[in-house]
């Protein structure tokens, strides 16, 4: 169970508004990368039993993620997402596209955080807000784990919507990841406008 130890330490150091940021969709062969920003302050607590269930989105079932998505949005100060499509991913690479999605989420969110906790090895480039990158942050820092759930559920919803336009790939099932079924559909139908042409095995397809 995650606590708010990291967040509380930063608040005590003089940063009352803490943002957690994470992304979903770095690995898929199709679709956008989605980042989420979640903001809490010193009044936030984990008294709600459901909030104690928040952890890395990859460790949760889709049903549990969807339930927690609604609870998080209801309980935290602010939530926003940033979306960067596959064309931009192909132009600037997935790491830079992930950072761009994170900056989009920060730009759109109605509150300006005093400090940012971001999942991963690297801080977000080209922002002036104090920040700390935490490897495995989605597994050990509550506000980042919450952001991971918002990002994952949001991206899954987008891919389910894209499925209606391109049903032959069954995006609603694999969400664009390189499953056997997805690779078979690529072999049969070729890529669609959502596919990341810079990713193997798409590089080999004309």
Burial of 110 per CB tally in 10 Å (0-12, 13-18, 19+): exposed
pLDDT, mean of residues 61-75: 96
- Tokens 């909030």 belong to residue: 51
* DSSP string of 81-140, one letter each residue: EEEE-HHHHHHH-HHHHHHHHHHHHHHHSSS--SEEEEESSSPPTT--S-EEEETTHHHH
Return the H-helix or E-strand segment holding 22.
strand 18-24
Q: In what order do the strands lie in the sheet with 33-40?
A: 78-84, 33-40, 18-24, 115-119, 131-134
**Average pLDDT of the residues of the chain:** 96
List, for residues 19-44, the tens digit of each pLDDT value: 999 999 999 999 999 999 999 999 99
**By C-alpha distance, which of 25, 8, 39, 20 is closest to 152?**
25
pLDDT, mean of residues 3-14: 96
* pLDDT beyond 70 at 126: yes
* pLDDT beyond 70 at 13: yes
Stated pTM of the model: 0.97
**Sequence-separated (6 or more) residues with CB below 8 Å from residue 131:** 115, 116, 117, 118, 123, 124
List, for residues 70-84, the tens digit of each pLDDT value: 999 999 999 999 999
Write down the CATH superfamily of domain 5-204: Ribonuclease H-like superfamily/Ribonuclease H (3.30.420.10)
Number of CB atoms found within 10 A of residue 13's CB:
10
């Amino acid at each position: 169970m995650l606590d708010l130890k990291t967040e509380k330490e930063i608040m005590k150091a003089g940063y009352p508004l803490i943002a957690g940021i994470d992304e979903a969709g770095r690995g898929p062969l199709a679709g956008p990368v989605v980042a989420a920003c979640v903001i809490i302050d010193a009044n936030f607590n984990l008294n709600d039993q459901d909030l104690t269930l928040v952890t890395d989105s990859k460790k949760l079932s889709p049903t549990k993620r969807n339930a927690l998505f609604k609870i998080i949005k209801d309980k935290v100060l602010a939530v926003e997402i940033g979306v960067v499509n596959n064309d931009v991913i192909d132009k600037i690479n997935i790491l830079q596209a992930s950072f761009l999605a994170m900056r989009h989420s920060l730009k759109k969110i109605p509150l300006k955080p005093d400090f940012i906790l971001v999942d991963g090895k690297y801080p977000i480039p080209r922002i002036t807000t104090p920040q700390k990158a935490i490897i495995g942050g989605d597994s050990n820092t509550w506000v980042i784990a919450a952001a991971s759930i918002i990002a994952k559920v949001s991206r899954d919803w987008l891919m389910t919507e894209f499925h209606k336009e391109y049903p032959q790939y069954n995006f609603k099932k694999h969400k664009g990841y390189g499953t056997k079924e997805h690779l078979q559909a690529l072999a049969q139908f070729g890529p669609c406008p959502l596919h990341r042409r810079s990713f193997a095995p798409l590089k080999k397809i004309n």
